[in-house]
Amino acid sequence: MSVGIQVSKRMVSGDRHFELDVAFTSSSKRIALFGPSGAGKSLTLRAVAGLLRPDAGRIEINGRVLFDGQAGICLPTRSRRVAYLFQDYALFPHLTVAQNIAFGLRRGWLNPPRREVGEQARRWVDAFELGSIVGSYPHEISGGQKQRVALARALMLQPDILLLDEPFSALDSQLRGKMRQELNALQQRLDVPMLLITHDPADVDVLADEVFEVREGRVRRRDEDEGI
């Protein structure tokens, strides 16, 4: 696994402005960007996903260049082979669990069949123990189940890296600890590279092998013996 991220972006809103100037490289499969809200973590993640175009810089994942401002390269989101797990999971409320998981595999405007679980989707339904709720809708399942569904949908496309945006912030403290352990076990079993952003030291302790602290749009590596 190799990640090289260098992004610069100037954000202006009225008389306020924010300068993002983040640069780091890593060979770890479990990377965390740690820092307070408003530090630039989510902007960095959005740039990697192709949801935000930097003013300058370069983004490279496993030797694939996703963005290079100088060379004029900016791959569209659908071509980047990255999976993005949003804070609120962004499940489609009108689709069942099975349909949400299979959605990324469909082309065109038709939704997947309501209860059909194809072979590719079945792998993730079984991995996340979602078989009993495949016909349920998002409003009928728990917060932990919603996260599992969102993760299954993200991993369906076999991405090069999984981007996690404060993945436990919407859960209560007890469920948060349980889901951390579940995600940790799942990542190690499936060997899926992750880039996590969080302001919670507990997330870093469980899920990160290399940590970069983000403050006011800048980043620096946190040594292991330094702690959080």
Question: Quick one: 35 and 105 in the same domain?
Answer: no
pLDDT tens, residue by residue, 49-86: 999 999 999 999 999 999 999 999 999 998 999 999 88
Same structural domain, 57 and 111: no
Helix (H) or strand (E) holding 54: none
**What's the gap between Cα 87 and its chain centre?**
9
- Does residue 144 share a domain with residue 121? yes
87-125 pLDDT, tens digit each: 788 899 999 998 888 886 655 444 555 656 677 778 888
DSSP per residue over 74-92, as a string? E--GGGS-EEEE-TTTT--
Domain closes at, from 142, 158, 174: 158
Sheet of 3-13, strand order: 16-26, 3-13, 56-61, 64-68, 73-74
Using CB atoms within 10 A of its CB, is residue 219 exposed (0-12), middle (13-18) or buried (19+)? buried
List the domain range (segments joined by +) for residue 177: 1-81+161-228
Q: Specify whether the CB–CB gap between 196 and 226 falls below 8 A.
A: no
- Determine contact, residues 197/16, Cβ cutoff 8 Å: no
Which region among 37-46, 52-61, 170-179, 200-209 has the lowest average model confidence (pLDDT)?
170-179
Question: CA nearest 180: which of 32, 5, 8?
Answer: 32
Q: What are phi and psi of 112, to 5 degrees?
A: -65, 155
Provide the whole-model pTM: 0.86
Mean per-residue pLDDT, 176-183: 84
Mark whether 64 and 165 lie in a shared domain.
Answer: yes
| pLDDT at residue number 213 | 95
